[in-house]
């Protein structure tokens, strides 16, 4: 049975779904960030699979950019988590509500 881009797409969708669920369900903000990384990886898989299918490397170029952005996001996001933890002694996202009404 040949593996088509559709398979990759399904895999990507499942991985993305898992990421989304992780973002929405977990309270630990570090794990939420990890779930975001999962979602980004799902996107990357999709991009690479289709790039291979259309024999065009532009998709891979985008993956490079996505990885770069992910790295930047992780660095800044984790910096924010550290700063927040220092102030509030917690990483529970429910307690990050200072911007509420």
Partner 1 sequence: MAETIVFYTLSVLILGLAILVVTAKNAVHSVVALVMTFLCVAALYVVLEAEFLAVIQILVYAGGIVVLYLFVVMLVNLGRSPEEHQDPRRLSVFGLGLAGAMLLEVAGIVVYSYNRSASTVTAPAAASPVQGNTQELGWLLYTDYLIPFELASVLLLVAMVGAIVLAKRDL
Partner 2 sequence: MDLIWLIPVLPGIGAALNGLLGIRYFSKPVAAAIACATMGGALLLSIFAFAQLLGAEHREHVVTLAHWIPPIPLQTVDGLGAFEAPWAFRLDPLSGMMILIVSGIGFLIHLYSSSYMDHEPRGGYVRFFCYLNLFCFFMLTLVLGSTFLVMFVGWEGVGLCSYLLIGFWYHKKSAADAGKKAFVVNRVGDFGFVLGVFLIFFTFGTIDFREVAEAASQMPVESAAFGVLSTICLLLFVGAVGKSAQIPLYVWLPDAMEGPTPVSALIHAATMVTAGVYMVGRNAVLFSHAPMVMTIVAVVGGVTALMAATIGLVQTDIKKVLAYSTVSQLGYMFLATGVGAFGAGAFHLMTHAFFKALLFLGSGSVIHAMNDEQDMQKMGNMKLYMPTTFITMFVGALAIAGVPGLSGFFSKDEILAKTFVASPWLWGLAVVTAGMTAFYMFRLIFMTFFGEYRGPKWGGDAEGQADGDHAAAADDHGHDGAHVWHGPHESPKLMTVPLMILAVGAAVAGYVGIPPIIGDFVGVGNAIEHFLEPSFVAESAALAEEGEHAVAHLSHVVEFGLMAFSVLIAGLGIALAYHLYVRRPKRAVELAENWAGAHRVLTNKYYVDEAYNSTVIKGTMGSARGLWAVDRNVVDGAVNGAGWLTRALSWVSHVLDKYVVDGLVNLAAWICAEGSYIFRRGQTGLIQNYAVATLFGVFACATAFLVVRFMG
Q: Which residues contribute to the site for partner 2 (CB under 8 A)? A: 20, 23-25, 93-94, 96-101
Instruction: Specify the residue, 51 or 101, whose C-beta has the smaller distance to partner 1.
Output: 51
Check residue 36 for interaction with partner 1 (CB under 8 A).
no
Check residue 21 for interaction with partner 1 (CB under 8 A).
yes
Nearest distance in Å: CB 39, partner 1: 10
Instruction: Specify the residue, 38 or 101, whose C-beta has the smaller distance to partner 1.
Output: 38
Nearest distance in Å: CB 26, partner 2: 8
Check residue 96 for interaction with partner 1 (CB under 8 A).
no
- Closest-CA residue to 73 (of 43, 39, 33, 26): 33
**What are the structure tokens assigned to 40, written together?**
């980004």
Q: From the list partner 2, partner 1, none, which binds 86 (C-beta under 5 to 8 Å, kind-based)?
A: partner 1
Alpha helices of 26-91 — where are they, by DSSP H?
29-53, 58-88
Distance CA 96, CA 32 (A): 13
Q: What angle do CA 27, 31, 34 make, to 5 degrees?
A: 145
Q: What angle do CA 89, 80, 90 make, to 5 degrees?
A: 15
């Amino acid at each position: 049975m040949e593996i088509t881009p559709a398979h990759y797409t399904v895999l990507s969708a499942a991985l993305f779904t898992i990421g989304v669920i992780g973002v929405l369900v977990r309270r630990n903000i570090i794990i939420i960030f990890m779930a975001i990384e999962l979602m980004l990886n799902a996107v990357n898989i999709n991009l690479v699979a289709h790039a291979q299918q259309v024999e065009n490397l532009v998709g891979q170029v985008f993956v490079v950019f996505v990885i770069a952005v992910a790295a930047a996001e992780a660095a800044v996001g984790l910096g924010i988590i550290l700063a927040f933890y220092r102030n509030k002694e917690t990483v529970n996202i429910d307690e990050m509500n200072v911007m509420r009404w």
